[in-house]
Amino acid sequence: MRSNRSDHNLYTTYSLNSKVENDPNDRDTLSCDNFNIEQSSGLHYLSPQTSQRRTSTKRRQNSVTIDSNGLIINGSMFDKNLFQPPSSSYILDFSKTPKEANRFFDTHQTPTKTAHVESRLFKLSFVLTVADWHVDRELLIDFCPRENNKNHVTDEINHYKKFCFPELNSKQADRGKLVEESTTYVFTRTSSKGQVEYGYCRRINYNDNQITPFPVVICIVAIYPYFKLYDAILTELSRVYTNNEHECSALMQKFYATPLPLPSLNASSSIICKLDDHRIFYYVCPYDTRLNHDYFYTLLSSLAPIHIVYLFESMLRSKKILCYSHSLTKLTKCCLALSFLIYPFMWPYPFVSVMPSPWLQDLVGSPCPYIYGCLHQSIELLPSSIEGGFLRVDIDANTIDIDVEDGTILPLDLRQTLQASLEYASRFRIGKPNTTLINVAVSEACLHVFTELLYRLPEFFKRDRSLSNSSNDTRHFSICSNYFQREDSGVDLQLNDNEHQFVKNECDKKEENRLEYDFRSDEFLILQPTSSYVTFLNDFIHGMIFLKFLDDYERIDDSPKQSFSLFTQRLKERRAMTMDILSINPVARYRQTFDTLEKQINQAAKSANPFLSKLMKKLFE
């Protein structure tokens, strides 16, 4: 089955069987109590109308409350940094007032001996090129940090160099063609300790100063998914490198030595680095990580909402997914968006945002579920004899090749709400798009599914604090998944039957002593509103995705890396909702919320523009 769909039906992909009361021209008076999605263009496998809870047709004003941490709209809180105007540059220039530069730097400098402050901005960085169109012909030009034991750093870099030029493949007789992109792309690698690492790469195309006729890649390896931060750093490093390689090396060391304070619930964190006497790099890292990247915006711009919903369900089914594109940036952002789409859950299987071409053929046939990204030219090298069983997602063509149609698994009302919400979020792409708003809109549409399914979870889940406090990493669920990883590359490999049995035995041995919580699943299922909820949850709560979630949820840990705070906040808000709020159709509530958010963001942008402020003041004088 091949599924594709263009964007010409942007506003017609779902229909609302609605009865109009009061003013027929007022869309807020519509009652959206029956979705008939099957009649819509492109939605060919949904069942007919389903009976849902009747919703009120009363007009309800948006509830907006200002809180110290953000804005509360219709009962949901949003980070105050969402209303900050977007910045095209994070470089503050004090050339006209050089004394102010020192004062600003001293005021905003982060103490390095406080809690939750990383002493380094990233793990390592390096500059790389290739000597010839061939694997293992990479040339290391520069690297950071410059430690006494250089062999240790260079050995580490060997794990990442193939990801910098993933298109290199010795099997191509015509040597192929390197991707010419000047935007940042991101590869992922899982270390031998189970830690996900992100490699932020920027290519500098050939110029007369380079030692080879191939692009140079500047790469930063970090454990935090702060795309906007590292993209801004790469922009500055690339600019300096084209003028003076030695200055770039010194600047790379400066950034490396900059402390990274991790944001807390009550405050953002500021990253500050003095570049020279009058220029300062200053980045505010918000607590809401969705504001640190534009992955969901890229996904919604590349794939139709119907495809996103299908992939969302496929991940919950633990399917094998292979995404491909001609663009490294688009490919890696879309793959990362998919992995973050199922928040608060983590994808517990192999995930590689861009697969080096030489490894693809060996790994794509693995029996284990995975999400792999690869370049289009790597797909063309796969032999036709490769067995199916995986979804092929052509990001450039907005299509999905499906071997077997599995139907749907989500409760129909939640699936329809998700798709209708994503369709509505698409409208924010028209005109001058606000990538941050779209990012949050896509995330909230998916998070709503899990909020409705699990808002009763805290009533039936309890963690044993005494065990949790005394636990160590070897007790975590990841002890089993680590057996599946090849330490040199971080890419998971296929295991034989004996190895699978060994892993199973090891997991069984740990099972009795591993659990540090009590989840009364039977009582939880009994209170579900419909049989479709019970059917879905009965399978889902026994799967690896949910079990991994339970192992981490509400764990007492000194590390703030894995945070469920947004999910916990949404569960709390859902339980506090009144019948008046719940009587509003969820799609209508979603539309109200993001229409209000868009309005508030636009107002904040206008108030931050000094020219507009002066103009408005003159008009009203």
Q: What is the three-state SS of 306-345?
A: HHHHHHHHHHHCCCEEEEEECCHHHHHHHHHHHHHHCCCC
Q: In the structure, what pLDDT confidence band is assigned to residue 561 with cuts at 50, 70 and 90?
A: very low
- What is the predicted pLDDT for the residue at 447? 97
Cα gap 188→351, rounded to integer Å = 8
163 domain residue, yes or no = yes
217 domain residue, yes or no = yes
User: Which sign, positive or negative, has the C-alpha torsion 399, 404, 408, 410?
Assistant: negative
Cα gap 201→217, rounded to integer Å = 6
pLDDT over 50 at 487, yes or no: no
Q: In the structure, what pLDDT confidence band is assigned to residue 401 with cuts at 50, 70 and 90?
A: confident
Residue 187 CB contacts under 8 Å (≥ 6 apart), including other chains: 160, 163, 164, 166, 198, 199, 201, 332, 352, 353, 354
Cα gap 461→243, rounded to integer Å = 58
Q: Which of 381, 322, 380 is nearest to 354 (CA)?
A: 322
pLDDT over 80 at 18, yes or no: no
Residue 258 CB contacts under 8 Å (≥ 6 apart), including other chains: 120, 121, 271, 272, 273
Report yes or no: 371 and 321 within 8 Å, Cβ to Cβ. Answer: yes
Mean pLDDT (the chain) is 77
Lowest average pLDDT, out of 76-85, 206-215, 263-272, 453-462, goes to 206-215
Residue 343 CB contacts under 8 Å (≥ 6 apart), including other chains: 443, 446, 447, 566, 567
Instruction: Work out the widest C-alpha separation in the chain, in whole angstroms.
Output: 82
- What is the predicted pLDDT for the residue at 312? 97
CATH of the domain at 245: 3.30.450.200
405 domain residue, yes or no = no
Share of the chain above pLDDT 70, in %: 69
- What is the predicted pLDDT for the residue at 59? 46
State the total domains in the chain: 2
Q: For 164-187, how does the pLDDT look when each residue is reduced to its tens digit (9 = 90+)? A: 999 887 665 455 678 888 899 999
Which domain does 593 fall in, by range? 580-618
- What is the predicted pLDDT for the residue at 551? 87
Q: In 3-state terms, what secondary structure has residue 254?
A: helix
Among 258, 281, 298, the domain boundary falls at 258
523 domain residue, yes or no = no
Q: In the structure, what pLDDT confidence band is assigned to residue 260 with cuts at 50, 70 and 90?
A: confident
How many distinct helices (H) and strands (E) make up the chain?
Answer: 23, 23
Report yes or no: 414 and 452 within 8 Å, Cβ to Cβ. Answer: yes
- What is the predicted pLDDT for the residue at 419? 97
- What is the predicted pLDDT for the residue at 116? 62
Report yes or no: 488 and 432 within 8 Å, Cβ to Cβ. Answer: no
Q: For 501-519, how does the pLDDT look when each residue is reduced to its tens digit (9 = 90+)? A: 545 554 554 444 456 788 9
Among 242, 258, 274, the domain boundary falls at 258
Q: Could you count the other beta carbons within 10 Å of the beta carbon of residue 119?
A: 10
Q: Which of 445, 417, 431, 171 is nearest to 299 (CA)?
A: 445
**Cis-peptide into 215, omega within 30 deg:** no
Cα gap 171→164, rounded to integer Å = 18
Dihedral, CA of residue 104, residue 106, residue 112 and residue 117, to nearest 10: -20
Q: In 3-state terms, what secondary structure has residue 515?
A: coil
Dihedral, CA of residue 81, residue 87, residue 92 and residue 95, to nearest 10: -140
pLDDT over 50 at 36, yes or no: no
What is the mean predicted confidence (pLDDT) over 262-278?
Answer: 76
Taking the model in full, what pTM does it have? 0.81
pLDDT over 50 at 605, yes or no: yes
Cα gap 364→322, rounded to integer Å = 8
376 domain residue, yes or no = no
DSSP state of 291: G
What is the mean predicted confidence (pLDDT) over 426-445?
Answer: 86
Report phi then psi at 494, rounded to 5: -75, 135
CA 574 to chain centre: 23
Give me the amino acid identity at 491: V
pLDDT over 60 at 617, yes or no: no
Q: In the structure, what pLDDT confidence band is assigned to residue 109 with cuts at 50, 70 and 90?
A: low
Q: For 578-598, how does the pLDDT look when each residue is reduced to its tens digit (9 = 90+)? A: 888 888 899 999 999 999 988
Token representation of residue 285: 């890292």
Name the region of 303 (left: φ>0; alpha: ψ -120 to 50; beta: rest): beta
93 domain residue, yes or no = no
- What is the predicted pLDDT for the residue at 361? 82
Cα gap 195→509, rounded to integer Å = 24
Q: Which long-range contacts (CB under 8 A, 24 or more apart) does 219-222 make?
A: 219/125, 219/126, 219/127, 219/128, 219/160, 219/164, 220/122, 220/125, 221/122, 221/123, 221/124, 221/125, 221/160, 221/197, 222/121, 222/122, 222/123, 222/197, 222/198
Question: If you average pLDDT over each of 273-282, 359-368, 369-378, which comes out highest?
Answer: 369-378
274 domain residue, yes or no = no
pLDDT over 70 at 1, yes or no: no
- What is the predicted pLDDT for the residue at 211? 59
Among 258, 281, 310, the domain boundary falls at 258
111 domain residue, yes or no = no
- What is the predicted pLDDT for the residue at 46? 31
Q: Which one has a higher pLDDT value, 529 or 169?
A: 529
Q: For 112-168, how does the pLDDT look when each residue is reduced to its tens digit (9 = 90+)? A: 444 467 889 999 999 998 877 666 678 899 999 987 667 788 888 988 989 999 988
Q: In the structure, what pLDDT confidence band is assigned to residue 466 with cuts at 50, 70 and 90?
A: low
What is the mean predicted confidence (pLDDT) over 105-115?
Answer: 58
What is the mean predicted confidence (pLDDT) over 102-116?
Answer: 61
